[in-house]
Structure formats: structure tokens, C-alpha cells
């Protein structure tokens, strides 16, 4: 278990067996503005196959109220995906706590981290994220079946 929650009502845990797949699916399929083209089976597989993940859990209930995952090789690079905090738990530092637990852990502190986001740039900047340098290129993905 990862310690250091910003509020005694919450804890961070990187145990993949503790993840509530139903809670992750509910948020990603109804509230996230990214990746809604994914099916439940895809989301479950992505979570299972992630290199690392961290959940924020509400101590009184044990409910998963925030989540972040990473894909990567665990040696030189990692990509942040599917970061969220439920609206009713926002404003308590859980986003920063999740990301700190994800990227500053022993196994992640030295990696080159990447992510795509439309918002929360200030949060990610606190952890050293910044616009890419001139060496970074990407080939944008396409939703399956989109044809474009």
C-alpha cells in the first residue's frame, strides 16, 4: 500500500487486485470525455494489462473514488492514462496524490513520462510535466472502425 494521502479519509493503494473494475468502467463510460469508444472488455483488458496503477480509496467506505494507470516498460518510459477523481471527492488533493503515487514511486521516479490531456496542466506541471521538446513526434490513434 502507498501511504501519504492528503486527507485521513483517503488512502492510495497500488494493489491491482483491489481495483473495482465496475467503478472504473462506470466513470470512464459515463463521465470521462476521452476514450468513450472503448467497450467494457477493452477497458477491463487495459486495466489488467497496465504496467502500474493506483487507486484512491475512501477510508470509511473502501470505495474507489480516484484512479490512475500507466503503460510502459518499467525501465525507461511510461504513459499516463485514465486519471480521474469522482466529482464529489475533488478539491482534496486526490489528483495530485494519485499522480505522485504513480510517477514518484521507486519504480517510476526515473522514467520518462508522457500523457495527453485537455485540462489539469497545472496539476501535471507540479510533477515536472511540460510541453514536449523538438524530438517528440506522435502518430495519433484512431478509434476502431472509424476509417479515418
pTM: 0.89
Helix (H) or strand (E) holding 80: strand 77-85
Q: 6 versus 24: which is more confidently predicted?
A: 24
- Domain range list for the chain: 10-125
The arrangement of secondary structure in 10-125, i.e. its CATH architecture, is 3-Layer(aba) Sandwich (3.40)
- Mean pLDDT of the region 53-67: 96
Average pLDDT of every residue of the chain: 91
Would you state the pLDDT for residue 12? Answer: 95
pLDDT 10s digits, 99-108: 999 999 878 9
Nearest to 146, CA basis, from 49, 36, 45: 36
- Cβ contacts of 31 within 8 Å, gap of 6 or more: 84, 87
3 has pLDDT over 50: no
Amino acid at each position: 500500500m502507498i501511504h501519504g494521502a492528503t486527507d485521513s479519509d483517503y488512502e492510495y493503494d497500488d494493489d491491482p487486485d483491489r481495483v473495482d473494475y465496475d467503478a472504473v468502467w462506470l466513470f470512464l463510460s459515463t463521465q470521462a470525455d476521452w476514450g468513450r469508444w472503448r467497450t467494457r472488455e477493452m477497458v477491463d483488458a487495459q486495466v489488467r494489462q497496465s504496467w502500474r496503477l493506483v487507486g484512491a480509496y475512501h477510508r470509511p467506505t473502501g470505495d474507489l473514488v480516484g484512479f490512475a494507470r500507466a503503460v510502459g516498460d518499467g525501465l525507461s518510459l511510461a504513459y499516463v492514462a485514465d486519471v480521474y477523481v469522482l466529482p464529489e471527492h475533488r478539491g482534496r488533493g486526490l489528483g495530485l496524490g494519485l499522480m505522485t503515487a504513480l510517477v514518484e514511486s521507486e519504480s517510476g521516479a526515473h522514467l520518462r513520462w508522457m500523457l495527453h490531456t485537455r485540462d489539469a496542466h497545472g496539476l501535471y506541471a507540479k510533477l515536472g510535466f511540460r510541453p514536449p521538446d523538438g524530438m517528440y513526434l506522435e502518430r495519433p490513434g484512431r478509434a476502431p472502425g472509424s476509417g479515418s
